[in-house]
Every structure is written in C-alpha cells, then in structure tokens.
Amino acid sequence: MKKTLSYNYLVFIHAVIALAIFAVPFLSKIYGLIIPVLGFLLIVKNKNKNNEVLFVTAYLVGVEVFLRMTGGNFNNEYVKVLVIFFMLTGMIYSNFSVNASIYLFFLLLLIPGVLVTNASENLNTDIRKALVFNLSGPVCLAIASIYTLKRRILFPDLQKVITIMGLPIITTVVYLFLYNPSVKDVVTGTQSNFETSGGFGPNQVSTILGLGMFIFFSQLVLSSKLKSEMFLNGALLIFVSYRGIATFSRGGVISGVAMIIFLLFLLYYVSNRKGKSKVGLILLLVGFLGVGIWSYTSLQTRGLIEKRYANKDAKGRDKSDRLGGREAIIDADLKLFLDNPILGIGAGMGKDIRREALGQSVAAHNEISRMLSEHGLFGIFGFLILIVVPLVTYINNRQHLYFFSFFIFWLLTINHAAMRIAAPAFVYALTLLSVQVKFPGKTNNPVD
C-alpha cells in the first residue's frame, strides 16, 4: 500500500506542477534549474552506487519537451548537455566498460564532417550553431551509450527508470489539457496541430507522448499489482494516447504503438502456456482500448484524424506526399551524398545547401539521410555501429524485456524527428544495459 500511495502522490504532484506553471509561467525556469541541481546533489551524495545517474537523466529526458514548451529550458540543447554532463559524472564514480570504446570510435567518425564544415566558405551559415544543432544528439547518444554499455542493472530498477521518465510526461499531458481543453474547437484541417500540442512543435510533443504511451502501458502490465494502480495507469495510458493522437503528428504515436507491440511479442515469446494466455487476453483488451480511444478522437476531430492517417486533406483528397514533405528532404540528402560520397558536405551544412534543391533552407528530419549527406562514408560506418552494437549485445542480454521496444523507438524516431530532443539518444542507450532479474552472489551494479 505504501508503494501505491507513493506512486499516486508522485502523479498528483506532477499534475500540480503543470497547473502551477500554467498559472505562473516563470516557474518553469525555476523548475528547469532545480532538477539538475537536486539531481547532482543526489548523485554526489550516493556516489552513484545505485545508478542514480540513470534516474536523474531519465527524469530530464521525460521533462525536456515540457520545459521547451513552457520556456523552462535555457537553450534548445539544455537537456542534452545535462544528460552528457551527468553521464560523465556517473563514469567518474562508476567507471565504464572497456567495450564502450566503440562509441569513442563513433565520435571520431564525426570529426571529418566537422573539419569539412570548418573549411567551408559558406558565409550564410553560422558554423558554431550548425555544429551544435546537428551534433548534440549524436554526441549525447555516444556518451550515454559509453555509460550504459554492459552496465548491470536489476529489472525492477530499470522499471523505476522508466517510471521516473514517465512522471514529467504526466505534467506535459496535464498542461496540454489546460492549454487546450477542447480539441474539437481548434482542429480545422489534417496538418500537425500546434494548438493541441501546447503551442510547441507537434512532432516533438507526439514523440514524447508516444513514449509515454509505452511507459504507462508497461506500468499497467508489469507493475500494477493492485486495482488502484491498474486504474491509475490505465487512465494515464488513455489520456496520453488521446492527446498524442490529437497532435495530428503521426510519428510519435506510431512509435509508441510499435513499442507496445514489440513488448507484447516478447512477453508472449518468453511466457509459458498460462502466461501466453494472459498475453493474449492483454492483447484483446488493448485492442478494445485502442478502438475506444481512436473512436473518441475521431468524434472530437470530426473524422479529420482518420483522414490524417489516411494521408488525405480536410476535403478527403489524397496528398501528393506521404511524409509531410520529408521525401523531398531525403531525396535532396541522397543526391548530396552521391555528389560527396567520402567526406560528405560537412556537419550542419545540409540545411542551407538544400536551398538549391528545395528553394528554401530546411533542417533534416531524418537522421540517417542527414548522416549520409553531411558525413558521407564516415556517416555510413557510424550508423552501422549504432545498429550492430545493440543487436550483438542483446545476444547475451536476453533478460532485457524492453530491448526491442527501446530499439524500435530509437530507429523510428530518428526517421521522423531526427535527434531534436534527448529521448531517442537516451532510450537507445538503455538498450545496452545488462538487465538481470537478480545478481548471483552480488549486491552492487558493476560494469561487466
């Protein structure tokens, strides 16, 4: 009961935070400052003996979109820089696996692209800003991965990491309801909707809410031991899913659904006959729940959400592109890669160079095509490292029930939202943890 009251209390507190910041926006700045200060004190006090770094960074990742939405971040890379700082702090206390040097090599592969950029004569580009904008995500991913690779963690502790990441997502969704109580009043077309996204980028809001869908589903299935916990997590799953769909940004919702499907598949695979029956029942209930959420959203949007996912405009006409203009950006990136296959055009240079092909400066939404165009052959090698290392690690890491869900979230997110926020970098790093039900003969969490 104590655990239930504690979780309920935390949920309530994070709902109140949304209300307070909605009423007094300046509090968001204070909130954004308090989190890293308290997090640092927690890590130093405990010397990271219980992987406090993962708890602090998980919270930062969960709160990033809310801070950016409400002006609580001090710059767009604020959370990514903090994640890098805390991961490095964790390494000082807890060391890291020698095998993690593969991610140091990944960082080295980014250097040729930086040198090409520094040698550029393009006077229209703010080189420092371009480098930070495009490389903060990959650097965050690499540093987080160095910390997590083969680091042993108990499954219940990993569940705590996920729970902590979900708490500020509650704040986000409550704020969305306060900012826009009635979806019906603001939806007039099938384009991504800033009003239902709290006035912030629908793509990023959809991404974090899609992650929230998975978090509260996993809480409902794997952590709800009492009826009150089941009801609360079920309600959170419904609310987060509804507001995620209502952003009209498809990428995050599809990623969240894919994560849930992969988790159910893995649970079914590792279960005995009785467990398989339970998973089948869960799948059936999820299906009914999904139909209910979709039907309600369709009612609130007067059927426009269905046209959005069918790639139609408000009048029911098929749109010429299926990815919101991203196809043109990807095509431009592939052409730039073919013209500059070895070194690429330089890190961060794609936005302005695409102007020639598209008639305007457009930032990449696809991290894979960006790495190809801006880093050339070195980008290919770098991406292969990111794909292969987690898969190889999983061979001896079969107790990691969330592996495929985390991996697919990263892969899908970088294809529609690049690495604008820290979530894909951090969630990718979580795939590398050595998850165990219990440590035989050990009481700490050392690196393998």
DSSP string, 402-441: THHHHHHHHHHHHHHSTTSSSHHHHHHHHTTSEEES--TT
Mean of all residue pLDDT scores within the chain: 90
Q: Is 152 helix (H, G, I), strand (E, B) or coil?
A: strand
Phi, psi of 288 (to 5 degrees): -65, -40
What pLDDT is attached to residue 1? 39
Assess contact for 222 and 263: CB atoms under 8 A: no
> Is 194 strand, coil or helix?
coil
User: Where would I find the beta strands (DSSP E) of 22-167?
Assistant: 152-154
Query: 422, 140 in Cβ contact below 8 A?
Result: yes
Any idea of the CA torsion for 433, 379, 134, 118, to the nearest 10 degrees?
130
Q: Does residue 125 sit in helix, strand or coil?
A: coil
Q: Is 357 exposed, middle or buried (0-12, 13-18, 19+ CB in 10 A)?
A: middle
Please tell me the predicted confidence (pLDDT) of residue 386. Answer: 97
Residue 294 is predicted with a pLDDT of 95
**Residues 418, 419, 424, 430: is their CA dihedral positive or negative?**
positive
Would you state the pLDDT for residue 225?
A: 81
As a whole number of angstroms, the distance between CA 410 and CA 251 comes to 12
pLDDT at 271: 84
Q: Is 388 exposed, middle or buried (0-12, 13-18, 19+ CB in 10 A)?
A: exposed
Cβ neighbours for 293, distance < 8 A, ≥ 6 positions apart: 238, 241, 242, 245
Which one, of 77, 78, 74, 72, lies nearest residue 26 by Cα?
Answer: 72
What's 391-403 look like in SS3?
A: HHHHHCCCCCCCH
Hunting for tokens 């903060």 — which residue is that?
136
Residue 207: phi and psi, rounded to 5, are -60, -50
The whole-model pTM stands at 0.94
Listed residue (294, 291, 299) closest to 184, CA to CA? 299
Given the structure tokens 């305007």, which residue do they identify?
360
Residues of the chain whose pLDDT is less than 50?
1-2, 443-444
Helix spans in 119-226 (H): 127-148, 155-179, 202-218
Dist CA 59 CA 172 (whole Å): 13
**Rama region for 307: left / alpha / beta (φ>0; ψ in -120 to 50; rest):** alpha
Q: For residue 312, which phi and psi values (nearest 5 degrees)?
A: -120, 160
pLDDT computed for residue 448 by the predictor: 61
Residue whose C-alpha is closest to residue 383's, from 420, 428, 422? 428
